[in-house]
Structure 1
Amino acid sequence: MAVDSGSVANIDYTSRDFTGYRDSLLAYAQQILPEWTSRSPADFGVVMVELFAYMGDIISFYQDRIQDESFLTTATQRSSVVAIAQQLGYQPHPAIPATGQVAFSPAPGLTSPVTLPAGTQVITAYIPALDRPITYETTTDVIVPAYTTPVPQIVALVAEGATQGSRSLALYASTSGQPATTVRVEDVGASDGTKSQTFSLAQSPVLLDTVRIFIDDGVGGTEWTAVDDFLLAQSSDLIFTAVTDDQGVTQITFGDGVNGAVPATGLKITAAYRTGGGSYGNVPQSSIVDLAESVPGVVVAGSSPMAGGADQETIDQIRINAPRVFRAQGRAVSAQDYADLALTVAGVADARAVVRSASAVTIFIIGPNNILPSEGQRDTVAQYVQARSLSGVVVNVVNGTLVPVNVGSSTLPVLISVQARYRRDTVKLAVQQAIQQVFTPPETTFGSRISISRIYKAIQDVPGVDWAVIQMMARSDLTQSGTADVVCRDQEIPIVGSIVITASGGV
């Protein structure tokens, strides 16, 4: 059948789904095959059109997803967001283990000192929420003396997490004078001599800054160096990268022989690393109660609060922080530059710089999920930013102040009316969670203003809410009356305090 070459179809190039493709194909068919008039779903032509429309719908979906993953504001995969942030010069923060101190004492009957080597594990009591105790390891050797009275207490630094590995590997002495040592390692595979080999570590979550890779020739191990990328590497450089993917698996990648060396064929690849990290490790004083493996004559006498643990940086936080760090360009001139540079230090989720004088800048910082950074983290931020600040400017770093905000009280609760078709208890819980979300980072930051209208909107957006009345909203350090907006100072971050809700209606 001849087709009229002068007939040109008006194609709708905005068609991006099944219905649009189907309608466009049928409209085109009307022009080139006017004698085909059947539109029955059972018609073979209609079946073919719908199959092509279905295929086009799938292709459009993947095209949209690919495009979305190319931009920081629309990417949903963590690997995509991290890759874009790294292009901007920003390294997202990994999970950080909590640290603290544990006191060991000799038990009655211990007649000679006992040495606890670095890496000795101590544990908390069983924690139902985690379905396990939390493990911490000593960071240095500890010598517990013989039992005397009064009973001595030996304090040791500990870090949350556990060292992985099933065997010991002897290391060659380094050319820099480092003596031969042994290290606990995990076998991750053997080199096949190909370019850009990748191996997976067996355990997770991995603390990336603890990963060490060794090439085992059967007699001893040679350590390779971790790098962020292979961009400036030479072909002889013994280097690797360690990256954790979206499923939480850490991948070790070697060079291609041009940028980074390739491990020789047949040699074992071994890894030494620790797992752990997260805010769950921030436990109160005296939470550590025992040694993971009993050591005769040694007991745990107590522990300090564990602090500094933080979860890995969220995607939403990366979207906010990466452009800020890119603007700073590694130097601090304006007050905003000082705050932006502080964000590049692990464990800092938000920062605000305040200029007190021409020669002093105070940076207020806060950790992920509004956790207060430890003294060591504050010192690290101060050193990092000081090295990039203007000459003559002194940088001081302090923790931000968390200000609880109470919404409702026992005498002035938040009143909500639930629509007839909804369960009262379910809607009440959803309203409470919606109010809590208003105070969840990154919704709040230093100097935030929480308006009463913002709380009303959060409540009204909950399905099943008919109407609401907020009778009281105030900072916990002020008079608990009225519904004025909550205003925070530069160093303050609002957090949720008490929420009291009374619900009526519904079922």
Structure 2
Amino acid sequence: MTTKPRPRIDYTSLDYESLRAALLGLARERLPEWTDHSPNDLGVALVELFAAMGDALFYYLDRVAGESYLETAQERRSVVNLLRLIGYELRPPQPAYADLTLLFHKDAAGQVQIAKGAGFATTAKATGTPVVFRYLRPSLTLDVGALPLTTVDGKQHRVFAPLPVVQVDQLVTGEVLGSSDGSPRQRLPLARKPLIDGTLEIAVMQPFQKIWRRVDTLLDSAGTDEHYAVRRDENDVAWIEFGDGVRGKPPARGRNNLIASYAVGGGARGNVPARTITDVSPAIPQLDRVFNEAPGTGGAASEAVADAVQRAPRQYRSMGRAVTAADFEAHARSFGVAKARARALGNRVELWIAPAGGGYPNDLLKDDLRAYLDGKRMLTTLLDLRDPVYVPVALAAKVEVEPYFYRNEVRARVKEAIRALWSFDNVDFADTLYVSKVYEAIESIEGVAGVTVTHFGVAGGPNNAGGALKFGYGEIPLSTGFADQDLEVTGGKSDVL
């Protein structure tokens, strides 16, 4: 019995051209009498159809395989689902925080109430589109006559500060999620996004309205517990998940009996400049002015996939607890602060934090972070939240421009390159800055013939001859680039003809 030779298979033939060539090669071996391999041959047309089908099939198989691993996944949906397997949720957009100063009339008297949900906003002139902030804590009653009398901008006012507010795009009350059919594992989406954590309230009519409790996971809930969990999809839409009768109680059957109230907002647009939050709605009696002494901070977009892939395994190793300094740093970043640095001293943990956009964390952000970490730290651990220490960096340099380039254009590109080199997003606590990076950034600019850094050091300090600036545990280098007088540009052409 004659055994046919096994076909040689090239497992790298995955695209149309290689599949077509492989199929025609096999045809030459098995069907030597078929000699017409021109494009107008019917057999060649069939081969090309199968090659096209194989090309598409192998593409989808490659995508399925790639989306199954964190290192190779490209779609945000795949990363969300993979990280959920280890209990990690991508951080949603974070709202900005601000502290307001309220200036009441100097002769103000009596009590004034600041209601929960009171709105404050920037002007269109200051930020283009007004950015709204709201007071989300319980209603506050002030005895304005007892407030200290202080001179602000040359006028006397009764001053109250700080009033913590959060950037909120919209307050949603009484939104009907839908009707419960009594079945297990019901999932319903919120109509608006992004949800601000800590503001969601789910009420179930059974038959009277009752507020259910939010939990991180239903795995620890009993079948009678009136709990729900929140899961966000790849588009930052929040989904409300109810139990199955074994882990968490499903809502009773009813028409339009699932009601949600919450706030939406977040993103870097809330990091507004100082003294731009000046509008009040509704009006507060006897209030003359309101403003934010410091910029809004903490506003950030959704967590980037690349950051989550790096951060999730480290947080998974902590098993949801904060024990080591690295655990506190990982949980603080997961909460939403941009930078965190922790140091353990006995049973006390010092945690320096910096909000997104730079600046200093306000009391509201600290309180929320402390409450978040309280459920993760050991009972005997004392947590000390600290503000970052920004250390200004001073630079001076001489730049020589090539003959056929305009000096002012090169000057502008040099200043922009150095401003970006050590911007807030590119530095961290206890960082080390090297003068070689300044040379590298400037020399890579087209039109630069040469550069000499004449000063490199901490502002107000001597020149660092060693070429490296090292910063302390709670310090972040702060560089705004070159001042005009510190950048000398020679050579090149003048912009004036």
Query: C-alpha displacement at 1:214, in angstroms?
Result: 1.8
CA distance in 2, matches of 1:130, 1:22: 58
Q: Is the 8 A contact 1:369 1:440 kept in 2?
A: no
Give the aligned partner of residue 49 of structure 2: 51
Q: How far did 1:120 drift?
A: 1.9
- Secondary structure in 1 matching 2:340: strand
> 3-state SS of the aligned residue for 1:24?
helix
Mapped to 1, the partners of 2:36 and 2:465 lie a distance apart of 69
Contiguous gaps of at least 5 residues in structure 2: 150-155
Task: Give 1:188's aligned residue.
Answer: 177
Deviation for aligned residue 1:111? 10
- TM-score, normalised by the number of residues in structure 2: 0.75
CA distance in 2, matches of 1:469, 1:26: 60
Distance in 2, matches of 1:69 and 1:306, equals 41
**How far off is 1:207 after superposition?**
0.5
Amino acid in structure 1 at the alignment position of 2:51: A
User: d(CA) in 2 for partners of 1:38 and 1:452?
Assistant: 69
Does the Cα contact within 8 Å between 1:137 and 1:160 map onto a contact in 2?
A: no
Letter in 2 for 1:161: V
Q: Secondary structure at the match of 1:412?
A: strand
Q: Percent identity?
A: 27
Residues in 2 aligned to 1:138 and 1:368: alpha-carbon distance in whole angstroms: 20
Aligned residue in 1 for 2:230: 242
Deviation at 1:272, TM superposition (A): 0.2
Deviation of 1:494 after TM superposition, in Å, equals: 3.9
Note if contact 2:121-2:130 (Cα within 8 Å) is conserved in structure 1.
no
Equivalent pair of 2:97/2:364 in contact (CA under 8 Å) = no
| C-alpha distance in 1 between matches for 2:32 and 2:352 | 73
Q: CA deviation at 1:222?
A: 2.3
Q: Is the 1:381–1:397 contact (alpha carbons within 8 Å) kept by the matching residues of 2?
A: no
Q: Would you say the 8 A contact 1:241–1:252 is kept in 2?
A: yes
Q: 1:118: Cα distance to partner? A: 1.8
1:380-414 deviation digits (Å, cap 9, x = unpaired): 666737974696x755432333445566x4x524x
1:318 is matched with 308
Please state how far the C-alpha of 1:185 moved relative to its aligned partner. Answer: 1.5
What is the CA distance between 1:435 and its match in structure 2? 5.6
Per the TM alignment, residue 124 of structure 1 is displaced from its structure 2 partner at its CA by: 1.6
Partner of 2:452: 471
* Pairing of 1:307-346 with structure 2 (within 5 A): 307-311=296-300, 312-329=302-319, 335-340=325-330, 342-344=332-334, 346=335
For residues 223 and 379 of structure 2, what CA distance do their matches in structure 1 show? 39
Residues 419 and 481 of structure 2 are in contact (CA less than 8 Å); yes or no, is this contact kept in structure 1? no
Residues 156-305 of structure 1 mapped to structure 2, 5 A cutoff: 156-165=163-172, 184-216=173-205, 220-263=208-251, 264-294=253-283, 299-305=288-294
Give the equivalent residue in structure 2 for 1:14. Answer: 12
Give 1:401's match in structure 2, choosing from 370, 389, 392.
389
Partner of 2:153: none
User: Post-superposition shift, 1:304?
Assistant: 4.1
**Partner in structure 2 of residue 98 of structure 1:** 97
Preserved CA contact (<8 Å) 1:11 1:28:
no
Q: Is the 8 A contact 2:106 2:158 kept in 1?
A: no
Q: Partner of 1:118: helix, strand, or coil?
A: coil
Query: Which residue, 356, 369, 379 being the options, matches 1:368?
Result: 356
**Residue of structure 2 equivalent to 1:61:** 59
When the two chains are superposed, the root-mean-square deviation of aligned CA atoms in Å is 4.6
CA contact (8 A) 1:107 1:299 kept: no
Secondary structure at 1:164 match in 2: strand
Rounded Cα–Cα distance in structure 2 between residues aligned with 1:273 and 1:259: 25
Per-residue Cα deviation, 1:402-459 (whole angstroms, up to 9, x for no partner): 445566x4x524x676999xx9999998877766665467754333334455566667
What is the DSSP-based 3-state SS (H/G/I as helix, E as strand, rest coil) of the residue aligned with 1:205?
Answer: coil
Inter-CA distance 113–388: structure 2 relative to 1 (3 Å threshold):
closer
TM-score with structure 1 length normalisation?
0.74
Write the distance in 2 (CA, Å) between the matches of 1:47 and 1:113.
Answer: 87
2:475 alignment counterpart: 492
State the alpha-carbon separation in 2 of the partners of residues 31 and 427 from structure 1: 65
> In the alignment, is the contact (CA less than 8 A) between 1:226 and 1:239 conserved in 2?
yes
Decide whether aligned partners of structure 1 residues 303 and 296 sit closer, same or farther in structure 2, where only a CA change above 3 A counts.
Answer: same
Cα distance in 1 between the residues matched to 2:342 and 2:255: 54
Judged with a 3 Å threshold, the aligned counterparts in structure 2 of structure 1 residues 10 and 101 are, in CA distance, closer, same or farther, namely same
Using the TM superposition, give the Cα deviation of residue 11 of structure 1 relative to its aligned residue in structure 2, in angstroms.
1.2
Match of 2:152 in 1: none
Quote how far apart the aligned CAs of 1:112 are. 8.3
Answer whether contact 1:196 1:255 (CA < 8 A) is retained. Answer: yes
2-structure distance, mates of 1:300, 1:224: 40
C-alpha separation in 2, matches of 1:111 and 1:328: 53
1:412 to 375, 398, 408: 398
Deviations 1:334-367 (A, max 9, x none): 55455445445x2333333346x65655333333
The amino acid that maps onto 1:326 is Y
Q: Is the 8 A contact 2:298 2:357 kept in 1?
A: no
Secondary structure of 2:456's match? Answer: strand
Q: Distance in 2 between matches of 1:30 and 1:419?
A: 63
Bigger drift between 307-316 and 204-213 goes to 307-316
Q: CA deviation at 1:498?
A: 0.9
Q: Which runs of 5+ in 1 are unaligned?
A: 166-183
Q: Which residue of 2 aligns with 1:171?
A: none
Structure 1 residues 189, 334: closer, same or farther in 2, change over 3 A? closer
Deviation of the 1:210 alpha carbon: 1.2
Q: Secondary structure at the match of 1:208?
A: coil
- Letter paired with 1:317: D
Whether the 8 Å contact between 2:101 and 2:159 is mirrored in structure 1 is: no
Deviates more, 1:206-215 or 1:231-240: 231-240
C-alpha separation in 2, matches of 1:405 and 1:203: 43
Counterpart residue type for residue 249 of structure 2: A
The 3 A distance-change label for structure 1 pair 277 and 436 is: same
Contact 2:274 2:295 in 1 (8 A): yes
Q: Output aligned runs, 1:22-101, within 5 Å.
A: 22-94=20-92, 95-101=94-100
Per mean C-alpha deviation after superposition, the further-off stretch among 205-214 and 68-77 is 68-77
Deviation at 1:139? 2.9
Call closer, same or farther: CA 1:50–1:504 in 2, change over 3 Å: farther
Give the letter for the 2:67 counterpart.
E
Q: 2: distance between equivalents of 1:342 and 1:235?
A: 32
Contact 2:297 2:356 in 1 (8 A): no
Checking the alignment, whether the CA contact within 8 Å between 1:208 and 1:242 is kept in structure 2 is: no
Alpha-carbon displacement from aligned partner over 1:53-107 (angstroms, at most 9, x marks no partner): 3333333333333333333333344444344444445454441441423426369
